[in-house]
């Protein structure tokens, strides 16, 4: 993956190939990096978000969405858990951990990692777990990858996997309740049984070459829409911004800071978008850009 610097003259071809990057979403990312820094933490910490996962007797495939955590802590939190397997992409083999294992084992689980859990007994276990408020940019290797999904719920599989392009061969997700694999094959249409992803899911992904995978959509951007901005335009702005952020995250390793965005419907169907930020050791400032509906890009 390239360094997290902004493209220079040598990247002019990128902008020619992707002219939509010059519209509002691209300028949003540019302004974020140029003038904004994350807002200071508030005095009161926000409540930690949690999700609930049902673990069935036997094998379960889960995606890790919490902070890096020692596997010993996971065993403590889930008494019915007897085995954890994580996939070593470099060696193309599993690392196994038990409550007492040593040697070639996993030491911790990290954000975006896929894991196999084995649950003993006959009862379904409800596992309530925290979600780390951190962007997920994953590095996947050629061949098999056991990876988690830290993005949103009900994400269409074509959207989630679309960024791989022709690098994706096939993907599987284990349905613990039905005790079978759901599969996704690019271009297979209705014969693919893996159709959506939810936060905390995991899947086996087979790639023909390495890839980086941005899973956090438009990040923690706060959208402050006025009543004049139609619902369709709101969705277009969110989608376009997510595409631009994903492009620069996957190609340059850029993680956007938290940033409020205030789109206002203007004359002749133009959209004025105000980005408010707080540069380091400076006053609050704002920048304004306009999309003049030139007939291209995600906002056209």
pLDDT in tens, 142-176: 999 999 998 889 999 998 898 898 999 999 999 99
Look-up of token digits 């019915």? 80
* pLDDT given at position 113: 94
Q: Which two tokens stand for residue 72?
A: 């010993």
Average pLDDT along the chain: 74
Q: If you average pLDDT over residues 68-83, what whole number do you get? A: 95
pLDDT at 35 over 60: no
Go through 226-265 and write b for each residue having 16 or more CB atoms within 10 A of its CB, e for each that does not: eeebeeebeebbbbbbbbbbbbbbbebebbbeebbbbbee
Look-up of token digits 């003049």? 292
Residues 6+ apart with CB under 8 A from 209: 142, 167
Residues 6+ apart with CB under 8 A from 38: 257, 258
Q: If you average pLDDT over residues 106-123, what whole number do you get? A: 94
**Short-list 143, 149, 139, 112, CA closest to 213:** 139
Report d(CA 201, CA 128) in Å as an integer. 14
* pLDDT given at position 282: 36
Report d(CA 218, CA 213) in Å as an integer. 14
184 against 217, higher pLDDT: 184
**φ, ψ of residue 40 in degrees (nearest 5):** -60, 145
Q: Which two tokens stand for residue 278?
A: 């707080």
Look-up of token digits 């997510």? 242
Confidence of residue 13 (pLDDT cuts 50, 70, 90): very low
* pLDDT given at position 265: 62
Reported pTM: 0.67
């Amino acid at each position: 993956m390239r360094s997290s610097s902004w493209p220079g003259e040598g990247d002019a071809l990128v902008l020619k190939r992707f002219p939509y990057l010059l519209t509002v979403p691209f300028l949003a990312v540019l302004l974020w990096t140029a003038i904004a820094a994350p807002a200071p933490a508030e005095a009161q910490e926000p409540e930690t978000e949690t999700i609930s996962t049902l673990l069935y007797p036997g094998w379960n495939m889960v995606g890790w969405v919490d902070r890096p955590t020692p596997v010993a802590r996971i065993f403590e939190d889930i008494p019915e858990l007897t085995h954890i397997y994580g996939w070593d992409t470099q060696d193309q083999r599993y690392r196994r951990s038990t409550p007492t294992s040593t040697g070639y084992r996993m030491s911790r689980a990290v954000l975006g990692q896929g894991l196999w859990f084995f649950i003993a007994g006959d009862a379904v276990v409800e596992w309530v777990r925290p979600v780390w408020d951190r962007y997920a940019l994953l590095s996947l290797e050629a061949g098999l990858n056991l990876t988690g999904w830290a993005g949103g719920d009900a994400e269409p599989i074509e959207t989630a996997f679309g960024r791989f392009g022709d690098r994706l061969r096939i993907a599987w997700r284990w349905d613990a309740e039905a005790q079978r694999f759901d599969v996704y094959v690019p271009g297979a249409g209705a014969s693919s049984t893996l159709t959506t992803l939810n936060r905390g899911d995991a899947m086996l992904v087979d790639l023909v070459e390495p890839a980086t995978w941005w899973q956090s959509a438009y990040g923690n951007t706060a959208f402050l829409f006025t009543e004049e901005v139609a619902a369709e335009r709101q969705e277009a702005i969110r989608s376009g911004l997510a595409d631009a952020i994903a492009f620069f995250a996957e190609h340059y390793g850029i993680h956007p800071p938290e940033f409020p965005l205030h789109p206002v419907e203007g004359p002749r169907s133009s959209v004025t978008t105000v980005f408010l930020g707080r540069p380091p050791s400076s006053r609050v400032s704002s920048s304004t850009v306009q999309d003049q509906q030139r007939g291209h890009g995600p906002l056209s």
